[in-house]
Amino acid sequence: MGKAETITLRVQDVSEQREFVADVPTEATWGEAMASIVKSMQLPTNTPDGEETVYTGRLERQGRHLHPSEVVGDVLQNEDRIVMQPEITAG
């Protein structure tokens, strides 16, 4: 069996002060890739209130948020820049 294809993404936190280079399998969903990236970047997983932090990825090339079910190889290109943003829930 051959090696799975990957693409390289440049991922930043919302402050744009931390950048992470991620090689992501093209057949993975964005949700799967995002979970791995959040862990690798050591982004906070809980809010100050103790709730789970939910992240979205903003694809800078298209100016839109990626949906977790989108397949990486279908929507992303090599060297795309993604900004990881925590979802803010008004309460």
- Measure the CA angle with vertex 88, ends 61 and 29; round to 5°: 50
What SS3 class is residue 7? Answer: strand
pLDDT (0 to 100) of residue 50: 87
User: What does the pLDDT profile of the chain (91 residues) look like in tens digits?
Assistant: 445 699 999 999 998 888 999 999 999 999 999 999 999 999 998 888 888 899 999 999 999 999 999 999 999 999 999 999 998 766 5
**CA 67 to CA 83: how far, in whole Å?**
14
Domains and CATH numbers, the chain: 6-86 (3.10.20.90)
pLDDT (0 to 100) of residue 48: 84
DSSP string, 11-45: EEETTS--EEEEEEETTSBHHHHHHHHHHHHT---
